[in-house]
Structures are given as C-alpha cells and as structure tokens.
Amino acid sequence: MAINKRDEGKKVNSNINVTPMVDVMLVLLIIFMVITPMLQNKVNVDLAKTDNPTAMPDADKEDSVVVAITRDSRIFLGQNQVSQADLSSKVRDALENKTSKQIFIRADTRAKYGTVTDAIDEVRTAGVDEVGLLTEQRQTLTKPPAAAGGQ
C-alpha cells in the first residue's frame, strides 16, 4: 500500500497581487475628483484685482458669513440667494449666536456699484461691526532683465 502525499505547501505563491488595490485607488480618485467641486461653498464671482490686498484669513473659515454679489445683481448669503429686502434680517439671524459681528462681501468686478453699496447698507443695518471686502492679488508680469552687451 502506498500513501499519496500532497506537496501543495511547496506551491505557495508569496507575490502580492496589487491589481485590485490599484483598481480601488483609481475608483477613489475618480470619486474625489467628481465630489470636490461640489464641496465648494462659494458662489462663483470674478473678484476685483488689487495691488496690495489685506489678508483676511477669517473669510475662509467654515462658519464665516459671506455675502456674494454677482454681475447680474443677484445677492447670495452663503449659497442661498436672498433679496435685498431680506438681506438685513437673514444676516441678523446668521450672526445671532456669534461673538464677532463680522461679514465678508465678495462682489463681482462687473457688479453694479449701487447694488454693492445697497447690500453693504443692509448689512450695516443688521448690526454688523466690521465689513470686509474680498479681493484678489493682481498678477504682475515682470519682464526678464535684458542681456548685457547687446550685439
């Protein structure tokens, strides 16, 4: 009588198969690429460009109150569109539990001046202590220095 002995232990493959891991990573990358633009909590406006803007890091905080004015005179409080008449009461409600009465205005470069000033007046009547006007740094194009000893 002979005994059959299996030698399957010698056939063990110790190589790691990374293909499933790469597939999962690519799916996660695609999901993050699709969802990231949706997480933006700002209304798209083309901010005015200035030479020496003052940094306002509080404007980027999650709980900051931002009023955006688009070029077609629409007014947004955060992501929600509000009328100019309702702006004062909505701002008052947004600042009710906050110690700092500070608002940030993001106005489009081509927004009507009258709409922006009216919105600032409405915000000030809501009891706001400080109003910050958000702008962008102007990109200056510097020319490279001319080579000495021209030909």
The reply to whether 102 falls in a domain is: yes
pLDDT tens by residue, 90-145: 999 988 888 888 899 999 999 999 999 999 999 999 888 889 999 888 887 666 66
The reply to whether 149 falls in a domain is: no
The reply to whether 19 falls in a domain is: no
**pLDDT at residue 128, as a whole number:** 87
The reply to whether 101 falls in a domain is: yes
Say how far apart CA 3 and CA 54 lie, in whole Å.
86
Say how far apart CA 32 and CA 22 lie, in whole Å.
15
Q: What is the CATH number of the domain that holds 132?
A: 3.30.420.270
Q: Which domain holds residue 86?
A: 49-137
pLDDT tens by residue, 37-52: 776 657 788 888 888 8
**pLDDT at residue 78, as a whole number:** 84
Say how far apart CA 31 and CA 108 lie, in whole Å.
31
The reply to whether 42 falls in a domain is: no
148: which 2 tokens? 């000495």
pTM: 0.63
Residue with tokens 């702006």: 87
Asked if 81 and 75 touch (Cβ cutoff 8 Å), the reply is yes
In degrees, to the nearest 5, what angle opens at C-alpha 42 toward C-alphas 131 and 135?
45
The reply to whether 82 falls in a domain is: yes
pLDDT tens by residue, 55-95: 888 888 878 888 999 999 899 998 889 998 999 999 999 88
The reply to whether 107 falls in a domain is: yes
The reply to whether 70 falls in a domain is: yes
What domain count does the chain have? 1
Say how far apart CA 1 and CA 3 lie, in whole Å.
7
The SS3 of residue 11 is: helix
